[in-house]
Amino acid sequence: MTIKDRLLALCVVVIWGVNFVVIKVGLQHMPPLLLAGLRFLLVAFPAILLVPRPRLPVRWLAAYGMTISFGQFAFLFSAIKLGMPAGLASLILQAQAFFTLMIGGLCFGERLRWNQYVGMAAAAGGVLVLAEGSTISVSGITLTALLLTLAAAFSWACGNHCNRQIMQRYAVNAMSLVIWSALIPAGLFLLCSWWFESGERVTASLATISLSTVLALMYLSFLSTIIGYGLWGRLLARYDTWRVAPLSLLVPIVGLLSAMLLLGETLSWVQLAGILLVMLGLLINLFGSRLIFLKRVRYS
C-alpha cells in the first residue's frame, strides 16, 4: 500500500472514529429518528441527480437500505440518546464482525475456523462484562442502551450479507448503492419520527435547529457517509481485503480517545476489562489463523 493510500485509510479511520462524538453532539438538540432521517436525506440529495441508479431489483435496494442503514442507525442513535457513551458505542458496534460470521455459518453454510470461535467467545465474554459493569458504573450506560447497540451491530451484519449477495449477483458501483439506498431509510426515518417523536417535536426541532446540529448533519452525511465510504471503497478496489480490513480495528480506538478528549467520557475498571476482552476477540478473529500459519512456516 502506497504512503498516499495509507494516509487516505487513516483519514477514513479518523472520520469514522470521531463520527460517534458527532452523533452525540447532534442528538443534544434533535430526536434520534429525525436526525437519522435528515442524515440520509442529505446523503441522497442532491447526489442521486449526479450518480446513476444501480442496476438491481428494488427488493435488494430495499434490503440493503433497511438493514445497514435504517436498522443500524435507528438502534445506534437511540442507544446513544439513552446514554450509551460515544466511545463505547464505537467499540460494541464492532460486534458486527461476529454477527456476520454467525449469520454466514447458520444461513449460508460458511465454515468457521477455530480462531473465529475463540474470538467470538472472548468478545461475548467482554460484552457480558460490559453488561455487568453497566449496573455499577457512573458512565451513564444502561442495559437497554447496550442491547440497542448490539441490535445495531446485528443490523449491520445483516447488511453485510445483503451487500455481499448484491455484489455477487449484480455489477453495481458501491457508492451508487449507498446513495440510492439512502432514499429508503430517509423516508422511513422521517415517517417514524413524525409518528413516534410527535409532529410538534419535529416541527420545533426544525424551527430551532442549532448550528452544532447543522454541522453534525453535514459531517454525518458528507464526511462519514459519502467521503468515508467512497475512500474505503477505493481502497478495497485497489488492494486485497486482508490489507484494508484490519485498519477498521483502529476506529474504536479513535472513537474512545476522541470521546474522552472532546466529551470528557470516562470508563470504570470493569468496563475497561470488557473493552480489552472485546478487542482481544476482534484480534483473534482477524489474525489468529495467520499467526498459526506463520508459526508453521517458521518451523517447517
Residues 201-253 have pLDDT tens digits of 999 999 999 999 999 999 999 999 999 988 887 787 677 655 666 677 788 88
DSSP letters of 133-186?
Answer: HTTT-SS---HHHHHHHHHHHHHHHHHHHHHHHHHHHS---HHHHHHHHTHHHH
Mean pLDDT for the chain overall: 87
CA 18 – CA 87 distance, rounded (Å): 9
- Residue 139 has phi, psi (to 5 degrees) of -85, -5
Cell numbers describing residue 228: 468515508
DSSP letters of 44-95?
Answer: HTTGGGTSPPPSS-HHHHHHHIIIIIIIHHHHHHHHHHTT--HHHHHHHGGG
Choose the weakest-confidence range: 126-135, 141-150, 188-197.
126-135
Question: What pLDDT is recorded for position 240?
Answer: 64
Q: For the residues 152-174, what does the mean pLDDT come to?
A: 90
Q: What is the count of structural domains for the chain?
A: 1
> Which is more confident, 282 or 42?
42
Q: For the residues 3-22, what does the mean pLDDT come to?
A: 92
The residue whose grid cell reads 460515544 is: 86
Question: What pLDDT is recorded for position 138?
Answer: 43
Share of the chain above pLDDT 90, in %: 50
**What pTM does this model have?**
0.88
Q: Which domain holds residue 196?
A: 3-298
Q: For the residues 13-17, what does the mean pLDDT come to?
A: 94
* Rounded CA Rg of the chain: 19
Question: What pLDDT is recorded for position 300?
Answer: 53
Distance (Å) of CA 196 to CA 15, 71, 188, 191, 229: 31, 16, 12, 9, 30
**How many Cα neighbours within 13 Å face the side chain of 126?**
25
Q: For the residues 118-135, what does the mean pLDDT come to?
A: 78
Burial (CB count <10 Å: 0-12, 13-18, 19+), residue 32: buried
Question: What pLDDT is recorded for position 137?
Answer: 45
Indicate if the pLDDT at residue 297 is higher than 90. Answer: no
